[in-house]
Amino acid sequence: MTLVDLYAAELATGIRPGTLRVWLHRGKITHHGHDQAGRTLVDLEELPATLTAKAA
């Protein structure tokens, strides 16, 4: 599991933070708490699987 904030996730995958927030709200990806600065954390390894499922 590689936990990153939404902006680091955007750099790694190209998925905008707003899109990730919508996916979090809809339950498509898992929320893994917040870092010390209060930023939302997601599992970077979960994101490519979501993209593959969306394309199918």
Mean pLDDT by 10 residues, the chain (56 residues): 93 92 94 95 86 60
Q: Residue 40's beta-bridge partner residues?
A: 34
The pLDDT score that the predictor gives to residue 52 is: 59
| Residue in this structure with the two tokens 């394309």, named with its chain if needed | 55
The pLDDT score that the predictor gives to residue 28 is: 92
The pLDDT score that the predictor gives to residue 48 is: 77
* Full-model pTM: 0.82
Spans of all domains in the chain:
3-55
Q: What angle do CA 33, 51, 11 make, to 5 degrees?
A: 60
